[in-house]
Structure 1
Amino acid sequence: MKALIVTCHFPTDNKTDKHGWFKRLELFIDALKDIAEIHILYYLSEGEGNFTLEKTAQIETNLSSKLNKKVSLSLCPYVVRGNLVGKLIDLILNSYDQQRLFSSRNSLESRFLKEKLEIIEPDIIFFSRLLSIVPALGTKYNFPAIFFDIDDVSHTDYYKRIWKYKLRYLGNFWEHIKSAPLFFFQTLHKQLLLSRAVGISDLTFVCSEIDRKYISEKFNGSQVQTVPNAVTIPTEKSSLPSNSNLLYLGNYDQSPNNVIGANFLIENIWPLIYQQQPEARLIIAGKSPENIRTYSDNIPGVEFTGFVPDINALYDQTRVVCCPILSGGGTRLKIIEAAAYGKAIVSTSVGAEGLEIIDGKEYMLRDQPEDFAQACLELFKNDFLCEQLGNQARAAAIKHYDRNCIINLIQKDFQQL
């Protein structure tokens, strides 16, 4: 069997590209490598520059070595044509003639996709995330079985979340108000794209039951399968240190939601913790922390580590893991990972949304800054509660998010269709 994987997000540096997008893509690649010949089409965005043939070959070699399987990699430039006028035209076209939608757009990308399909003749084609499938929407081609992974449908309720938090934690009020009309049309346009993408797909993957119900109800008759984000379960539970270290782990160069969460944590929650427990330490770990608003402010007790290569050591020195996310969709790989290590977790409702974990049993859900801070302070002092939450969280991770089990689930879906 031959499989063509199409993506606009590809880990070109295995050492530092640890974003949840990449980890989810790697999950599907690992599932396919044992049952199919792997071909990858990577749409290169304008900001990524031009990859030389030598660099492309090196990435292909590194990936083949990592997977222990020969992988064929092709690159194509991707030009995002997405101004407001263009999106309005798309919406109007869709209102009376869906077949014309995108017929004149993404022409280079569509032609390249068609050429790869004719050369490779794959049995299945897997599109990773919404942007990667757009060129297929305007391509008249007898496609093989289409699998489509939409890991984040956050655009549908982003502003609802902003109003829930009264905008006071998300930055400039007026800036959000001014951007509301533009975001409204962007939301409609994304919903249109999603509708067409799900419509041409034989099977659509989502990462939570919440997203599955939304897609199934929004687009009647669609075949939708929940494939949770997953992690490799550590052989042993991480130890419980006696310190008062709080960890927030994320990627801050491609995820505004992580940056917003970090700002909320540092500016609204951390002062309440530090005031009562000045020996406490907040570790902000992950790539590109300079995008966080307070990065250069030298706030007492806050440490920005940047990318951390030894994740085991990071968790060993952490007592409590927090997820102060205020916006976005999908499910948080950072919570699943912390649960697998047996860490006590405090999260907002958005941060834990869609996960098979229970408040008060496997983690602590706290939305308001005062409540969030108090939960962290309690866990700093209460060893029994830390151990109890950590053990239950680890059990939930093993039951629902074991990577090997999820890979077997994906392989069955590919083979059955």
Structure 2
Amino acid sequence: MPTEWALGAMREQVSGLNFYVIERSIFQRIIRLLRLFRWPSHVASRVLAAKDRAELLTLIQAFKPDAVWLESIYGGILASEVADAEDIPMVCRSHNIEHLYMRRQVAKATSLRDRLVWGLNLLHLHNFELATLRHATRFFDISIDDLRFWKDAGMNNGEWLPPMVDPIFAARLSSPREEEPNFDVGYLGNLFAPNNVDGVMWLLEEVIGRLRAVRPTLRIFIAGSRPVEKIIAAAHKHGVCLIMDPDDVVPILRDARVLVNPVFSGSGVNVKSVEMLFSPSQLVSTTQGLTGLPAEVTRHFRCADTPEDFSTQVLEALDAPDNDFTADRDAAREKFSSSRAEQLVRSMREYIKQHEKSGACA
């Protein structure tokens, strides 16, 4: 259920807002199980009830939209139906190569429940993802590497649209430090997704000991939401400060001289790395943590994939001057401003105008 703050913020920006909560009654669970014969579980749970669907279509017809924006593929059933019914373009935002991402999450899951939850979403996912992106007039991919993957698969209707960082958030995060950070090394990310858990455990079990062998007094934190029990235990074992469910991530990201991203699996763009770029800290990541980002961005990170190399890069980062950033880090940050989205919106407007004149928008 969206918070009142979130609903209020959205209502300030839109003419009308309708949201539908995914129901979890026994009846709805049975319906979703039956839908698994056709769709992945995340798609099946987002198919509207007939009454809700009819009411929403009526509102959409009265609104007369110029296009349909589909945020991720999982609402693709409704978005495709609206686009076809209204004869308007459908635009899709792609955050991952979903069928590869889900397959990796299943492989990393350690509990039967997680393997089942992620595994049910793999059903029909590859075919559904391909069909949805092909149906879209344009799809805007978060990752340069993922866009290349789809082009190699014959999909030529994609464009790159990197994640956008809120300008207020960016300004707070990137402002010069007035005080020395309390920690030497820090990590921030959710602490329950299988790929994050795997990376954090690698950091705790394989890297921290090597760092402390050289500098025993290093101050280290791990921060994030919903930490699983083994992360809690490992953080305690290695004397690492665990910050659970922080309300505001900005002061945390600014509170370490070196920020690290130890992730080893995933797809799309690792948003942690984008947020790290806006901090006044030195940056160290695995290769995977930088996947999908252009070279103008990745060169601001030290990169390593083995415990030995990773710890070496962290130690070198700790010895680097605190403010050795040049103006080109600001140039790299600019890639995640709203200017790229504005450019693509203008392009879509021209497309719609041209097709309205010709009498066909699909």
TM-score with structure 2 setting the length: 0.75
After superposition, the C-alpha distances for 1:66-117 in whole angstroms (9 at most, x for unaligned) are x45554223153657776x976x549xxxxxxxxxxxx99764466345312
After superposition, the C-alpha distances for 1:347-374 in whole angstroms (9 at most, x for unaligned) are 1111100112469841111011111111
Partner of 2:129: 194
Q: Does 2:151 align with 1:224? A: no
8 Å CA contact retained: 1:209, 1:226: yes
Partner of 2:100: 156
Partner of 1:74: 19
Partner of 1:37: none
TM-aligned CA deviation for residue 201 of structure 1:
1.5
Partner of 1:120: 60
8 Å CA contact retained: 2:161, 2:341: no
- 1-structure distance, mates of 2:45, 2:241: 46
- 1-structure distance, mates of 2:202, 2:346: 41
Of 318, 328, 335, the residue aligned with 2:266 is 328
TM-aligned CA deviation for residue 140 of structure 1:
9.8
TM-aligned CA deviation for residue 392 of structure 1:
6.5
TM-aligned CA deviation for residue 198 of structure 1:
1.3
Q: Does 2:167 align with 1:234? A: no
Q: Does 2:75 align with 1:132? A: yes
- 1-structure distance, mates of 2:209, 2:217: 12
- 1-structure distance, mates of 2:330, 2:189: 23
- CA 1:61–1:370: 2 relative to 1, 3 Å: closer
- Secondary structure of 1:234's aligned partner: helix
- 2-structure distance, mates of 1:125, 1:112: 18
- CA 1:319–1:59: 2 relative to 1, 3 Å: closer
- 2-structure distance, mates of 1:171, 1:60: 31
- CA 1:161–1:281: 2 relative to 1, 3 Å: same
Partner of 1:246: 185
- Secondary structure of 2:56's aligned partner: helix
- CA 1:140–1:394: 2 relative to 1, 3 Å: closer
- 2-structure distance, mates of 1:218, 1:155: 14
- 1-structure distance, mates of 2:298, 2:52: 51
Query: For structure 2, which runs of at least 5 residues remain unmatched after alignment?
Result: 353-362
Equivalent residue runs for 1:15-164 within 5 Å: 58=4, 62-64=8-10, 67=12, 70-77=15-22, 90=38, 108-109=48-49, 112-121=52-61, 122-123=64-65, 124-136=67-79, 141-143=84-86, 144-156=88-100
Of 207, 211, 219, the residue aligned with 1:269 is 207
- CA 1:106–1:306: 2 relative to 1, 3 Å: closer
Of 307, 313, 323, the residue aligned with 1:375 is 313
8 Å CA contact retained: 2:104, 2:266: no
8 Å CA contact retained: 2:22, 2:46: no
8 Å CA contact retained: 1:110, 1:138: no
Overall identity of the aligned pairs, in %: 18
- 1-structure distance, mates of 2:201, 2:105: 16
- CA 1:71–1:267: 2 relative to 1, 3 Å: farther
- What one-letter code is carried by the residue in structure 2 that aligns with 1:119? L
TM-aligned CA deviation for residue 331 of structure 1:
0.8
TM-aligned CA deviation for residue 325 of structure 1:
0.8
- Secondary structure of 1:115's aligned partner: helix
TM-score with structure 1 setting the length: 0.66
TM-aligned CA deviation for residue 218 of structure 1:
2.1
8 Å CA contact retained: 1:230, 1:333: no
Partner of 2:336: 401
The aligned length equals 329
Q: RMSD of the alignment, in Å?
A: 3.8
Partner of 1:44: none
- 1-structure distance, mates of 2:229, 2:7: 35
- 2-structure distance, mates of 1:293, 1:301: 14
Of 281, 286, 289, the residue aligned with 2:219 is 281
TM-aligned CA deviation for residue 243 of structure 1:
6.3
- Secondary structure of 1:229's aligned partner: coil
- What one-letter code is carried by the residue in structure 2 that aligns with 1:130? I
Q: Does 2:238 align with 1:293? A: no
- 1-structure distance, mates of 2:18, 2:103: 38
